[in-house]
Amino acid sequence: MALFRREQRIAYDPQTQEPAVRRSICTGEMTAGFIDKQTGQFTDVMRLDGQKGLDAFCRSVGTDEVRIIY
């Protein structure tokens, strides 16, 4: 039985994609994903549960900050 769950890295192409979080101004719900740099289209990857989820997403993509879209 594993006591700690190992976080997995999320693979993306930094040349064509940018990590971002889409956040609802009404409910505060957050969805993590990537923005295509050419088209601006947002692709959902996972739903986030507060600050802990946001921190985990940042670690999984290897960055300290992500762009937040409202």
**Structure token digits, residue 4:** 């700690």
Residue 12 falls within a domain, yes or no?
no
Q: Tell me, yes or no, whether 32 lies in a domain.
A: yes
Q: ∠ at Cα 58 (22, 37), nearest 5°?
A: 55
* pTM for the predicted model, two decimal places: 0.82
Whose CA is closest to 48, among 32, 69, 59, 66?
32
> Is residue 6 one of the residues assigned to a domain?
no
Residue 9: inside a domain, yes or no? no
Give the domain extent around 35: 17-69
The count of domains in the chain is 1
pLDDT per position in the chain (70 positions), as tens? 455 556 678 888 999 999 999 999 999 899 999 999 999 999 999 999 999 999 999 999 999 889 999 9
Instruction: Flag whether 10 is in a domain.
Output: no
